[in-house]
Chain A
Amino acid sequence: MTAGRVTFGIGVGELFRVGFAGLRSHPGPLLVSAAITLRTYLAFRIPPYGAPDFYAADVLSNLLATGKSSRLYRSLVRERRIAQSVVAFAFPIVTGAAMLVLWATARPGVDAAALEEALWAELREVARGVDPEEVRRTVTGIEARQTIALQQVGERADQISMFTTLFDDPERINTELDAYRAVTPEEVSRFAAEYVRPEAAATLTYLPRAAQEAA
């Protein structure tokens, strides 16, 4: 199978409804767990791996939460101290829709609404625009991590196998970084405005048992 024959079954960016029975829907579905800390996930359908916008999504996810100068880390963890950690990644799926997933694990005492609003405040901000220097730094990080990872034969085998399986193109291991280098700041903010919207978000919140009982 070649990438040209892939069909996209599901419209991307549409509202994603999560249908767990018995969950409250305020502000997103809430799930009680025995976890000690509160954690909120936001997930979005995005264009599939291989589409130009996927690379914009991956750059966005790194810009948001990879490294200590990333936006969510800087704001939620370091400055506002409402989160202990933040994670974001673009999950590479080649058919249908891929996913952009991000989550924040709250510091003790922070409530779910405040955590979610803090995430959205940053997401609205990136949709307004990103600094070219910030995108350059993010892509530099992606390049360095890829070069460091390729020192390992296992990693090379994984990637060659992945590119062959997904795109019928093992050579892509040598050109994949070009797709990241081509991402512009305008594409990152345009992508955020288009796909990272509250109406398109699947929201999942893990509530610590103590908070649930107190509510």
Chain B
Amino acid sequence: MSGSDASRTPPGPALDRSRAPGHGPLRPFHFPPIERFTLSNGLPVITAATPGLPVATMSLLLDAGGLHEDPSRAGLASLTADLLESGAGERTAAGIADALERIGVQLGVTTAWDASHLDVTGLTGRIPEAAAILTELVRRPTFPDPEVERLRQEQLAGILQRRADPRALANEMASRFIFSEEPPFSRPLSGSLGSVEGLSRDDVRDFHARHYGPAMASLVIAGDLSAEEARALAEEHFGDWTGPAAEMARAAVAPREAGVQLVIVDRPGSVQSEIRVGHVGVARDTGDYFPLVVMNTILGGAFSSRLNLNLRERHGFTYGVSPAFVMRRLAGPFIVSTAVQTEVTAAALTEILREIGGIREAPVTAEELDDARNLLAGIFPLRLQTTEGVAARLAELALYSLPLDYYDTYRPRILAVTADEVHRVAQAHLRPGELAVVVVGDAAKIRDPLEAIGFAPVRVVEAGGDR
């Protein structure tokens, strides 16, 4: 029960609490042992054994994401994936939920641009039962009419709700102005009111028939299972899966306009402005991955990064500001995101532009480089504490065809990045002359100050508007 007072006194000499403890050297870290193999039907499988707690995750990745849908049917990939748990084989939606919850297994369904995935996580002993359900959802979905209609209505409600949320609206509008109107990335992943209104059960059945099959999928298993046990599970539940042959059209990604843009999405009465600053970035297979991650961390990926020190600590404009290179199979956006009080909108934008320019101009300091590399190397194992975290990393190996020793070499490669490399990738991948700035806020108050910056002519559009 309760500890006595004596047990609370730490052993050894008294701590000097006036000085912060040093961080010490990085401890060695090894990614759990990985196996990769292919089932006789062509389904690639990657497994990692993580003994310890009796927990496991199984993920099925499908080439059935936003990149795989017909742009005129935008939102179809999401709707199809979401409907998998609405009925399969003899099971009803309620039956599926009940069967999973009875064994305490969590099912997640996610649709991204690169893939859709289904993840089950639970106690290891329950994973065989979960795998039996998972394979049925993917192979024998029934797409009942009332469920198609229910989820379609939910998707429409979600689109409306995002339009009312300035953050979500800013993200949506930033994509619209960063990317060319040609597919894929200028539109929202979950579709528009117009495209989702038009989706039918036939569309869903057709999308499933064309995109759900072992040749266009990968299975990932991470948890307290041996490689043999994982292999037997994969074989038993997915070995006899048949489906369509692979197909994947790779579109090119282009910016919307050659030069800079400054767009206000008018939201009268807003007390804050949501600011997005970005341009077309890089694909996940970029050869500059490691120096880019370090450069982005120095620019703004951590609390002590340049953007945060400037906008938050020095100027008090915001609680946080972060840049990101969103890497997909195709080039996603480079985008800086923040929210500031209306009065300081133009000043905050000026500082963001200054920092983007600054990191291109001169090499970063040795201290900045060290801090960023140590941070990235140090926090890397924290993403691997859970079977879900390990499974997500295995999924990256599968999605982006990375080598099996990728995560064992990750930390050394981060630590080897030099200031020259950081400088080179800043100049190559940050292009101030192509930035699109989108500000969701009160145009009546922010238009003139933004115009006065002289960055670009200001255009004012409505939420969801295009001109």
Which residues of A pack against B, CB within 8 Å? Answer: 2, 34-37, 67-69, 74, 78, 81, 84, 107-108, 137, 140-141, 143-145, 147-148, 150-153, 168-171
CB-CB under 8 A from A171, the residues of chain B are 1
Q: How many A-B residue pairs have CB under 8 A?
A: 78
Q: Report the bound CA distance from A144 to B104 in whole Å.
A: 6
Report B160-191 residues with CB < 8 Å from chain A CB: 160-161, 164
Check B154 for interface membership: any CB of A closer than 8 A: yes
Q: Is A148 in contact with B2, judged by CB distance below 8 angstroms?
A: no
Q: Is B123 in contact with A69, judged by CB distance below 8 angstroms?
A: no
Which among B30-38, B95-103, B110-118, B433-441 touches the partner chain?
A: B95-103
CB-CB under 8 A from A150, the residues of chain B are 53
With known contacts A78-B150, A147-B55, A151-B387, A84–B157 Cβ distance under 8 A: yes
With known contacts A36-B164, A151-B386, A107–B153 Cβ distance under 8 A: yes
Check B122 for interface membership: any CB of A closer than 8 A: yes
CB-CB under 8 A from B52, the residues of chain A are 151
Which applies to chain B's interface (DSSP): helix, strand, loop or mixed? helix
Q: Is B385 in contact with A151, judged by CB distance below 8 angstroms?
A: yes
Q: Is A67 in contact with B97, judged by CB distance below 8 angstroms?
A: yes
Q: Is A137 in contact with B102, judged by CB distance below 8 angstroms?
A: yes
Check B234 for interface membership: any CB of A closer than 8 A: no
Report B84-100 residues with CB < 8 Å from chain A CB: 85, 93-94, 97-98, 100
CB-CB under 8 A from A148, the residues of chain B are 55, 106, 121-122, 386, 388
Task: Annotate B306-336 by CB proximity to A: 1 below 8 A, 0 otherwise.
Answer: 0000000000000000000000000000000
Report B443-467 residues with CB < 8 Å from chain A CB: none
CB-CB under 8 A from A84, the residues of chain B are 154, 157
Q: Report the bound CA distance from A168 to B106 in whole Å.
A: 32
Q: Is B153 in contact with A69, judged by CB distance below 8 angstroms?
A: no
Question: Closest CB-CB distance, B463 to chain A, in whole Å?
Answer: 12
Count chain B residues whose beta carbon lies closer than 8 angstroms to a beta carbon of A: 35
Which of B94, B103, B382, B387 touches A74 (beta carbons < 8 Å)? B94
Question: Closest CB-CB distance, B32 to chain A, in whole Å?
Answer: 13
CB-CB under 8 A from B244, the residues of chain A are none
Q: Report the bound CA distance from A147 to B105 in whole Å.
A: 12
Question: Closest CB-CB distance, A112 to chain B, in whole Å?
Answer: 17
Q: Is A147 in contact with B150, judged by CB distance below 8 angstroms?
A: no
Task: Annotate B38-70 by CB proximity to A: 1 below 8 A, 0 otherwise.
Answer: 000000000000001111000000000000000
Q: Which 3 A-B pairs have the closest CB atoms?
A: A144-B104, A68-B97, A69-B97
CB-CB under 8 A from B94, the residues of chain A are 68-69, 74, 78
Q: Is B101 in contact with A67, judged by CB distance below 8 angstroms?
A: yes
CB-CB under 8 A from B85, the residues of chain A are 68
Q: Is A144 in contact with B106, judged by CB distance below 8 angstroms?
A: yes
Q: Is A69 in contact with B98, judged by CB distance below 8 angstroms?
A: yes
Q: Report the bound CA distance from A108 to B150 in whole Å.
A: 12
With known contacts A140-B102, A168-B2, A34–B55 Cβ distance under 8 A: no
Check B13 for interface membership: any CB of A closer than 8 A: no
Check B12 for interface membership: any CB of A closer than 8 A: no
Q: Is B103 in contact with A153, judged by CB distance below 8 angstroms?
A: no
Which of A34, A147, A151, A169 touches B2 (beta carbons < 8 Å)? A169
Q: Report the bound CA distance from A145 to B105 in whole Å.
A: 9
Question: Closest CB-CB distance, B157 to chain A, in whole Å?
Answer: 6
Q: Which residue of B lies closest to A171 (CB)?
A: B1
Check B3 for interface membership: any CB of A closer than 8 A: yes
Q: Which residue of A lies closest to B150 (CB)?
A: A81
Q: Is B1 in contact with A140, judged by CB distance below 8 angstroms?
A: no
